[in-house]
Structure formats: structure tokens, C-alpha cells
Amino acid sequence: MTILVTGGAGYIGSHTCVELLQKGCEVVIADNFSNSSRDVPARIARIAGKQPQVCELDVADCQALEQIFAAQHIDAVIHFAGLKAVGESCQIPLRYYRNNLDTTLTLLETMERHGCAKLVFSSSATVYGPKNEIPYVEGMDTSATSPYGWTKVMIEQILRDYCAVNPDFSAVLLRYFNPIGAHESGLLGDDPNGIPNNLMPYIVRVAAGRLPNLTVFGGDYPTRDGTCLRDYLHVVDLAKGHLCALDYAQTHTGAEAFNLGTGDSVSVLELVRSFQRVNGVSVPYVIGGRRDGDLAEFYANPARARDELHWTAEKSVDDMCRDAWHFIQTRLSEA
Ligand code: NAD
Ligand code: UD1
């Protein structure tokens, strides 16, 4: 099988490329490196013992994408490429709509020209919007509270509309909860540029002394310790979910959504304490005000992924904390 992985140099894409290569797939990465570094494919190869093919291009560039499909038979596509910062999407919405929708439409048109009919799409738990009850179940209505979230809702709809008139097409919509952690080798992980927006990269930088303290966004939520609860899952478990989705696409058609989460919820303070205990480091924090748009609690009902994709998250919060810390230490020792 030859799998095109758009955004394959990014955080989740790179871990997924490792799993694909280790399973014996040929991997073609299409990435413009707008949010990843050019040394990632070599790191993937070091872990997997096999090189991915790398095509530096914008996935919205129809001619560049056409060349990939013309050069080889692509059996299936995993589509990670997209912009993902919720706050930034509120500041520059057009860039988010343009990038996330254009990449998807260009990809679908190119796949159609070449008879490629299997797509796994990176969706998000954010499509459950602010009103659904927890735990989230796939049949619930979707909505969003940010332009980023709306791009995911819209792309899911585009894929449902496309599948409705293309009965041989399979679109697996994977709704990720909160992926954290890193590859146990220390070679791949989440290393955003600038000051991180998300919790784990922030914790890691504080522990490493690169930022003075963590601000916990809100200590007065109606939760067991007053801080927000989330369904954190290890990025390697998440990567493996994509291989299960590809298997599913071999025998199913239509657009089908699956939650990829553990079904458990962990508070901000619980994550901080686990990180400190597992790694023997200190993470100073202060309790600050709530962040706009945050929900007190959400987590997955992961039953559909378990029953139909035959996927369950296996790694613990301790694994996530240990691997995230190992990754940043490896990064710092290389610098
Ligand atoms: P990432 O930013 O690390 O990876 C995305 C990759 O896509 C990057 O390598 C970037 O350079 C590339 N890219 C972006 N626009 C491109 C374009 N036009 N052409 C070619 N390459 C392009 O993000 P990630 O965390 O790995 O997320 C991957 C996908 O999963 C995204 O679609 C994201 O919205 C979705 N998702 C992520 C999370 C999360 O917590 N990380 C949660 C839910 C959904
Ligand atoms: C956010 C996005 C979600 C996206 C996900 C991964 C929102 C509303 N949702 O999820 O769409 O899929 O990122 O990119 O933005 N926190 C702190 N201090 C910090 C950072 C975070 O206390 O410095 C808290 C947050 O308030 C939240 C929790 O940690 O309660 C997790 O935050 P984060 O990692 O940003 O993920 P989400 O907000 O759940």
C-alpha cells in the first residue's frame, strides 16, 4: 500500500508515518513545512528504519499535487495538513478558511481524477461545539465556536456530501480529543514555535526552565478541583488509530465519524502533578482567569472506535508525561 500523508511532517502526522512505515507501507509525505521542520522526515526514517518519500508543496497547489498522483499509484490518503491554532483562527479567519478548505477541496478533486477513493481525515472534538452533553457520541449535532472549529465542521460536511454521490468512496472522520506526549525514542514530539497555546507543551517548557511558570486558566470551574477536565491521549495511540481507520476504509464506504479518545478525563492540576511525580521535576504554576471559549469538561465515548475500528488507547497519563519530557530533553541536548 502506498499512502499519501498530507501534513506528514507535523506532530500527529510524523508519528503516524512511523507506524505506517513499520507496518510495511510506502509513505509519501506532502508538507509545506509551514508548521514543522525539514529534519522531521529523517527522524521518522531513523525510528522506522525506512525512508518516506518527501514532497515539499502546498496541498492547495493543484499542479504539484497532480504530479504526486501521476508519478505513482496512491492507495489511500491521510489528510493532516491544516492550520490548527484556535486563538489565531479568530484573529486571521480568512487564512484558516482558505488553507483548510482549499487543501481539502484540491485533494478531493485530485483523488477523484485518479480514482483514489479512501481518505482518513483529521477532525477534532471541537466539532461537538459548546452545547452537547458529555461524554460526546458520534451521532450528536456538530457546531463550532471558532473559525478553526468551523473548518472541521465544514470539511466533515463536504465529505458527507461527496460520499452521498460517490458510493465507492470511503471517508473516515477521526475526531481527536487531546493528543499529548511524544515518541518514546525522544526523536519526535510537539515543539511549537513561540509561546505554546496548549497545555502540555507549556508544562514542558516551564519544567525545562524556559518559561517561568504555568498559568492555569481558571480555578473556579464546577469540576472536582476547579480546573478544566480533558480527555488526553498519547500521540502514538492516536497514530495507531489511523492504521485502524485505513483497515476500516478497505471494507466500508461512506463518511463515518469516530471519536479517538480514552473516555477518561484529567484535570489541569492532575496533569501537572502527574508530570512532576513521573519526571521528578517542578512545574511552578499560578491560578489565573478563565480562557475565552474553554469548556469546563469534555471527554469521548470511545465505544464506536473500539467496536468498529478495533482501536483503544493503551498508554497512560504517566506515559504521556514521561515521553513529553524525554522529547524536550533530547531536543535540548541536540541544541
Ligand atoms: P501540525 O501543525 O503539527 O501539523 C500539520 C502539518 O500540516 C504541518 O507539518 C504543516 O506544515 C502542514 N501544513 C499546513 N498547511 C499546509 C498546506 N497548505 N500544505 C502543506 N502542508 C501544510 O498539527 P498536528 O497537531 O499534527 O495536527 C494535524 C491535524 O490534526 C490538523 O488538521 C489539526 O487540525 C488536527 N487536530 C489536531 C489536534 C491536536 O491537538 N494537535 C486536535 C484535533 C485535530
Ligand atoms: C484546544 C482547542 C481544540 C484543539 C486542541 C488541540 C480550544 C477551545 N480548543 O483544546 O479545538 O483541538 O486545543 O490543539 O481552544 N490550559 C491552561 N494553561 C495553559 C494552556 C492550557 O490552564 O497555558 C488549560 C486550558 O484551559 C484547558 C486545558 O489546559 O483547560 C487544555 O488546554 P489545551 O491544551 O489548549 O487544549 P483544549 O483547550 O482542550
Residues 52-61 pLDDT 10s: 999 999 999 9
Q: Residue of the nearest CA to atom 8 in ligand 2?
A: 294
Instruction: Find the 83 Cα to ligand 1 centroid distance in Å.
Output: 6
Whose CA is closest to atom 5 on ligand 2? 178
Nearest CA owner, ligand 1 atom 34: 84
Q: Per-residue pLDDT tens for 109-144?
A: 999 999 999 999 999 999 999 999 999 999 999 999
Q: Give distance in angstroms: CA of 8 to centre of ligand 1.
A: 8
Q: What is the pLDDT along the chain (335 residues), one digit of tens a residue?
A: 999 999 999 999 999 999 999 999 999 999 999 999 999 999 999 999 999 999 999 999 999 999 999 999 999 999 999 999 999 999 999 999 999 999 999 999 999 999 999 999 999 999 999 999 999 999 999 999 999 999 999 999 999 999 999 999 999 999 999 999 999 999 999 988 889 999 999 999 999 999 999 999 999 999 999 999 999 999 999 999 999 999 999 999 999 999 999 999 999 999 999 999 999 999 999 999 999 989 999 999 999 999 999 999 999 999 999 999 999 999 989 87
- What domains lie within the chain, and their CATH numbers? 2-181+233-261 (3.40.50.720)
Which listed ligand is nearest to 179 at the C-alpha?
1
The whole-number pLDDT of residue 243 equals 98
C-alpha cell at 245: 481507520
The whole-angstrom separation of Cα 171 and Cα 77 is 10
Instruction: Compute, in angstroms, the gap from residue 31 CA to the centroid of ligand 2.
Output: 25
Which of 6, 14, 33, 34 to mutate to test ligand 1, by most ligand atoms within 8 A of the CB atom? 34
Give the separation between CA 28 and CA 80, rounded to whole angstroms.
13
Give the residues surrounding ligand 1 with Cβ less than 6 Å away: 7, 9-13, 31-36, 58-60, 80-84, 99, 103, 122, 124, 176, 179
Give the nearest ligand 1 atom to 14 CA.
26
Q: Take residue 238 and report the three cell numbers written for it.
A: 492516536
DSSP label at residue 126 = G
45 CA → ligand 2 middle, Å: 31
Ligand 2 centroid to residue 333 C-alpha, Å? 28
Sequence-distant (6+) residues with CB within 8 A of 86 are 126, 146, 148, 149, 197, 293
Extended strands (E) in the chain: 2-6, 26-31, 53-56, 76-79, 118-124, 170-176, 178-180, 214-217, 229-230, 232-234, 254-260, 266-267, 285-288
Nearest protein Cα to ligand 1, atom 19? 58
Distances from the Cα of 16 to the Cα of 28, 54, 90, angstroms? 12, 15, 29
Q: How far is the CA of 85 from the centre of ligand 1 (A)?
A: 9
- Closest ligand to the CA of 60: 1
The pLDDT of residue 191: 86
Residues labelled catalytic: 148
Give the three-state DSSP class for 128.
Answer: strand
Spell out which residues line ligand 2, taking CB within 6 angstroms. Answer: 84, 86, 124, 126, 178, 197-199, 202, 214-217, 228, 230, 268, 291, 293-294
Q: Whose CA is nearest to atom 1 of ligand 1?
A: 10
Kindly report the pTM of this predicted structure: 0.98
> Do 52 and 27 contact (CB within 8 A), yes or no?
yes
Distances 212 to 68, 202, 205, 206 between C-alpha atoms, Å:
46, 10, 9, 6
Instruction: Kindly give the number of the ligand 2 atom that is closest to the alpha carbon of 216.
Output: 22
